[in-house]
Amino acid sequence: MTRFRTDRTFAAELDAGDLLASCRTRFHIPRRADGREVIYFCGNSLGLQPRSALGFVEQELKDWARLGVEGHFHAKNPWMPYHEVLTAQTARLVGAKPVEVVVMNTLTVNLHLMLVSFYRPTASRHKIVIEANAFPSDRYAVESQIKFHGLDPASSLLELQPRGGEMMLRTEDIISRIEQEGEAIALVMLGGVNYYNGQAFAMGAIAHAAHAQGCIAGYDLAHAAGNIPLRLHDWNADFAVWCSYKYLNGGPGTLAGCFVHERHAENYKLPRFAGWWGHNKETRFLMKPEFQPIPGAEGWQLSNPPILQLAALRASMEIFDETGMEVLRKKSVLLTGYLEFLLDQLVENSLTIITPRNPDQRGAQLSFRLHRNAREVFTELTARGVICDWREPDIIRVAPVPLYNTFTDVYEFVRVLGEELETGDPPSL
Ligand SMILES: *Cc1c(COP(=O)(O)O)cnc(C)c1O
């Protein structure tokens, strides 16, 4: 356990000892009007651009110019199997077998596709369990699926609330709720890491409890992929979905990921919304009317994918694959622990951290509630070149990410925040 100190030299010492320090130079860091780099703590919202992304995208633009339709087969990276370049890296990233993952569509689309296949309500077993404060898109998706089946969200959507006075859900409470209502639950669908308070759920234990009651277990990993190490295969999740523009730095609105556990790979009885890209590759271009799904996650593909977006995503996935989640996580725990330590030194009663204090129950992000002048403080932070995230009514989310944030970023952030919060007592930094 590192003993942290409050002086600036300590941040410099941590940066000097950071084995990942050189990764930062592989990204474009946005700059303020005066040319200085911003303090960017929004990698949980939109990850920064790898410097190599331009080259990857240019390659495909050039091949399109040079080859037209022939690029499908004769581009330097032929477009026909282009998405497959990402399969092995993606599988390593989320702890899956290659047959279990595919990069396709966008996140909410993938969630709907998974719900079509895995939410099969019956008269007695029809509930979907989500966490209270789930990301709105997830809520809209599950509600609309419940209605699509002619059911009423008032009785079929079960939202897990923390105990009175507590900010996060206890694993034991999640599990006992699943045990109590198990026979009525069709699907347990939690965010791997909650977007609002940054809580990471015990995904393996929850999937186990869900399966013990005969329920399906799915995860939305938008805030988990590229943030915490994942072992989706071993945790036995039935499905998972995630986007690639947050921690994965794939670029605004880029393609999303999808995991379907191997045990469903050849279960063609599952209903699914199909498209030609999910059809057997050998016979796809015979253009026959009968749909033959590709075994595994690829069988859920609909369309031929946007190559330029995939190209940008490759740039970042190479960096993740070279670095490895274990190494990233090690730095991440230290970086976020240091942020937590410094926040705890600020003037008393100026903020409350609402993210779990236990590093095992969180990723990079810390969320905190400001007790006074929250909106004004946030506006000032932005004006001073600190890019973090505001959530109504008084929450600031900050995510120092190990690929490109430094310990000095963290130090500077807390120093600026301290100045803004100052209420007569100067912060001790
Ligand atoms: C970011 C995020 C989304 C966004 O959905 P898109 O389909 O990518 O626009 C959905 N769910 C969660 C949990 C998120 O964090």
**Predicted confidence (pLDDT) per residue in 16-43, tens digit:** 999 999 999 999 999 999 999 999 999 9
CB 410 within 8 A of CB 18: no
Check whether 397 has a pLDDT greater than 60: yes
C-alpha distances in Å from residue 390, one per residue of 17, 50, 377, 381:
32, 25, 10, 11
- Give the ligand 1 atom nearest the CA of 45: 1
pLDDT score of 425:
45
Check whether 424 has a pLDDT greater than 80: no
pLDDT score of 348:
78
Task: Supply the angle between the helices 136-148 and 107-118 in degrees, to the nearest 10.
Answer: 30
User: Mind listing the pLDDT tens digit for each residue in 90-101?
Assistant: 999 999 999 999
CB 397 within 8 A of CB 44: yes
Burial label for 35, CB within 10 Å (0-12, 13-18, 19+), is exposed
Smallest CA separation from ligand 1 atom 8, residue: 107
Structure tokens belonging to residue 265: 């790979």
Place of tokens 């903020």: 351
CA distance from start to end of the chain: 22
Report the C-alpha gap between 43 and 335 in whole angstroms. Answer: 14
Q: For residues 304 and 288, which has the higher predicted lDDT (pLDDT)?
A: 304
Task: Kindly state the average pLDDT of the residues 312-332.
Answer: 97
- Give the ligand 1 atom nearest the CA of 245: 8
Report the C-alpha gap between 424 and 346 in whole angstroms. Answer: 12
pLDDT score of 21:
96
Task: Kindly state the average pLDDT of the residues 58-65.
Answer: 98
Question: Which of 42, 137, 219 is the pocket-test mutation for ligand 1 (most atoms within 8 Å of CB)?
Answer: 137
Check whether 2 has a pLDDT greater than 90: no
Q: For residues 2 and 115, which has the higher predicted lDDT (pLDDT)?
A: 115
Confidence of residue 243 (pLDDT cuts 50, 70, 90): very high
Place of tokens 């600190």: 386
Confidence of residue 388 (pLDDT cuts 50, 70, 90): very high
163 is known as an active-site residue: no
The per-residue DSSP string of 149-207 comes to TT--HHHHEEEEPPPTT-SS--HHHHHHHHHHHGGGEEEEEEESB-TTT-BBP-HHHHH
Smallest CA separation from ligand 1 atom 13, residue: 135
pLDDT score of 1:
55
Check whether 287 has a pLDDT greater than 90: no
135 is known as an active-site residue: yes
Q: Count the residues in the chain.
A: 429
Q: Tell me what percent of the residues of the chain surpass a pLDDT of 90.
A: 94
Task: Kindly state the average pLDDT of the residues 107-125.
Answer: 98
Check whether 426 has a pLDDT greater than 80: no
pLDDT score of 429:
47
Of the residues 56, 82, 245, 259, which is catalytic? Answer: 245
Backbone angle region of 68, left / alpha / beta, with phi > 0 → left and psi within -120 to 50 → alpha: left
Domains, the chain, ordered by start: 8-37+324-420 (3.90.1150.10), 57-321 (3.40.640.10)
245 is known as an active-site residue: yes
118 is known as an active-site residue: no
- Give the ligand 1 atom nearest the CA of 109: 7
The pTM of the full predicted model, rounded to 2 decimals, is: 0.96
Taking the centre of ligand 1 as the mean of its atom positions, its distance from the CA of residue 304, in whole angstroms, is: 22
pLDDT score of 214:
98
Of the residues 135, 219, 320, 411, which is catalytic? Answer: 135
Structure tokens belonging to residue 79: 């477009």
Binding-site residues, ligand 1, Cβ < 6 A: 106-108, 135, 137-138, 191, 195, 220, 222-223, 243
Confidence of residue 347 (pLDDT cuts 50, 70, 90): confident
Among 196, 51, 192, 178, residue whose Cα is nearest residue 125: 178
